[in-house]
Chains A and B, each alone.
Chain A
Amino acid sequence: MRVALSVSTVGHAAILAWGMIAMPNVDPYESTPQPPLPIDLVSITEFTQITAGTRDGDKEIEPAPPKPVEEAKPVEQPKPDPKPKAEAKVAPAPAPEPEPVPLRTAALPQDDPEPAPTPDPEPVEQAEPEPEPEPTPQPLANAPVPKVKPKAPARPKPAAQAAQKKKSDFDADKIAALLNKVPDSGGGSSSDVGSDTPSYGAASGTQSALSVSEIDALRAQITRCWNPPVGVVNAEQMVVRIGMDLNQDGTLASPPTLLNGSSDPIFTVAAEAAIRAVNRCQPYYLPPEKYSSWQTIHMSFDPRELLGG
């Protein structure tokens, strides 16, 4: 036994010694620091607004190169701004500068009549150079544009082109190049969802429109409560439009009203089902800060949509 014990002890000692000799040679762990990944939290409202914004950006930006966008801003802040902006333009090219001013006076009356008097003093200062350049470039550049698009942003393009023309005696190729450039610099997609003209802003100060996902959520909530009459032949006659007034807490302020009517008894049944659904589903969970946009909701109940999926 003693022999066996000593053999065993020696064996273990040998293994331990080997472990101590061999293992320290293992390279120490090296941890390479991971570069931090920046993460932006985007709320669902912002996300939907972003896509809507790029879409409708197209309408304004397409005709106007970057500068006109700056010029469009003064419309938001009526009186004081137009002057400095217009004067800032003086530096690059003296000739085209007079144009924006009369243009705005032409355009502004749609939005508000007040700015009109203020720009007036300026044209007086630089009234002399004006008349000659203005009439000439506009018909030459693209005559239809100013007439077709009445809004302020549409005009500045001829203005920029006029500047080009002042410097380079009307080169048709250059105009073509400029025109080609325009869509590139615009960089928008096409849609007319959301706000298309600059406005004074909502009273609440935040985005007031319900996002697509919020509208979908509302629709889903009501659909859950809705039991449309089944087995009816003329389903297309059963489209019920309901108007509902909501309180800020999402409950109905007044009983829902029928917006369309029919003498068909089946329609009456469908209308009752829709009104029942609206009554049953309250309160509605909608963002309170957008109350102004969902205070009154018009909703159409179409059984075909439900059946179709």
Chain B
Amino acid sequence: MLDVTTLSAPGEVSIFSLFLQAHIVVKLVVLGLIAASVWTWAIIFEKIVLYRRTRSQMDRFEKVFWSGHSLEELHRSLAARTNTAMAALFVAAMREWKRSHETGALSMLGLQLRVEKVMDVTIARESARLESRLLFLATVGSSAPFIGLFGTVWGIMTSFQAIAASESTNLAVVAPGIAEALFATALGLLAAIPAVIAYNKLSNDAGKIVTRLEGFADEFSAILSRQLEERS
């Protein structure tokens, strides 16, 4: 570690010197908070892009689905590639449907149940994919202020030790400790505020997408059941 006390003149308040002057615990807190902030923003960016892409894919799929094309053809074109969201739901349901027809299963009720099960599983998998890592945002949002507060407490302790050591309550003695303490709190809030806001927004978006998927699953299951009744 550097001999940080000689690095900056007293009274200097640049962020970097503030960090270098701080106690090792405060430094760890600061670094941890910065890492949390980086990861939080990475998740935010990733989720925003993912949700936007998912919504546009669903829009496109619904357009194709309701355009009156043959479901067999649609399945054939989609089955080759990896699908997400609504397309995955559709492919999973169609695969189960076809498999039942190939094996010559006779029970219509059983087929209906199996398709719905498959679609439920797919919805669960999709929603898990959409909501993954959102929990981290919630964790950061609730714990980052406390972590910052911990750094603050430590900084205040440092300044009290400085008071005890110099036997004076001069502002120059107290100020550095308090400054680094407040710096830790500021970083904690800086990490927590976007995390909380993003968590609320993103979990709401994910909920909407999942609701849309469920709606599609219900509709598709209704179509399949109508088909089954027409055949029998």
Contacts and interface: CB of A to CB of B under 8 A. Distances in A.
A11 to B, nearest CB: 6
B16 to A, nearest CB: 5
B5 to A, nearest CB: 17
Contact of A1 (B12, B37, B40, B42): B42
A212 B9 CA distance: 57
Interface string A54-67: 00000000000000
B45 A4 contact: yes
A8 B13 contact: no
A29 B11 contact: yes
A9 B11 contact: no
Interface in A1-22: 1, 3-5, 7-9, 11-12, 16, 19-20
A27 to B, nearest CB: 10
Range, interface on chain A? 10 to 19
Contact of B46 (A1, A11, A16, A31): A1
B14 interface: yes
B15 A19 contact: yes
A8 B14 contact: no
A28 B46 contact: no
A117 interface: no
B13 A26 contact: yes
B123 interface: no
Contacts of A7: 41-42, 45
Interface string A139-183: 000000000000000000000000000000000000000000000
Nearest to B15: A19
A12 B45 contact: no
Interface size class of chain B, counting residues whose CB lies under 8 Å from the partner chain: 20 to 34
A16 B33 CA distance: 13
Nearest to A20: B16
A37 interface: no
Interface in B1-50: 9, 11-16, 34, 37-46, 49
Contact of A4 (B11, B34, B43): B43
Interface in A254-303: none
B2 to A, nearest CB: 16
Contacts of A29: 11, 13
Nearest to B47: A4
A5 B43 CA distance: 7
A21 B34 CA distance: 18
B interface SS class: helix
Contacts of A23: 13-15
A19 B19 CA distance: 12
A4 B49 contact: yes
A20 B15 contact: yes
A296 B40 CA distance: 86
B15 A28 contact: no
A1 B38 CA distance: 13
B46 A4 contact: yes
A28 B11 contact: yes
B39 A5 contact: yes
Given A4-B45, A4-B46, A12 B38 contact: yes
A8 B42 contact: yes
A5 B15 contact: no
A23 B40 CA distance: 25
Interface in B32-88: 34, 37-46, 49
A308 interface: no
A8 B42 CA distance: 5
A25 to B, nearest CB: 9
Contact of A12 (B16, B41, B43, B46): B41
Interface in A22-54: 23-24, 26, 28-29, 31
A8 B12 contact: no
Contacts of B38: 5, 8-9, 12
Contacts of A31: 171
26 contacts: A3-B46, A4-B42, A4-B45, A4-B49, A5-B38, A5-B39, A5-B46, A7-B41, A7-B42, A7-B45, A8-B38, A8-B41, A8-B42, A8-B44, A11-B41, A12-B34, A12-B41, A16-B15, A19-B15, A20-B16, A23-B14, A23-B15, A24-B14, A26-B14, A28-B9, A28-B12
Given A4-B46, A20-B14, 14 more contacts: A3-B45, A4-B45, A5-B39, A5-B42, A5-B46, A8-B41, A8-B44, A12-B34, A20-B16, A23-B14, A24-B14, A28-B11, A28-B12, A31-B171
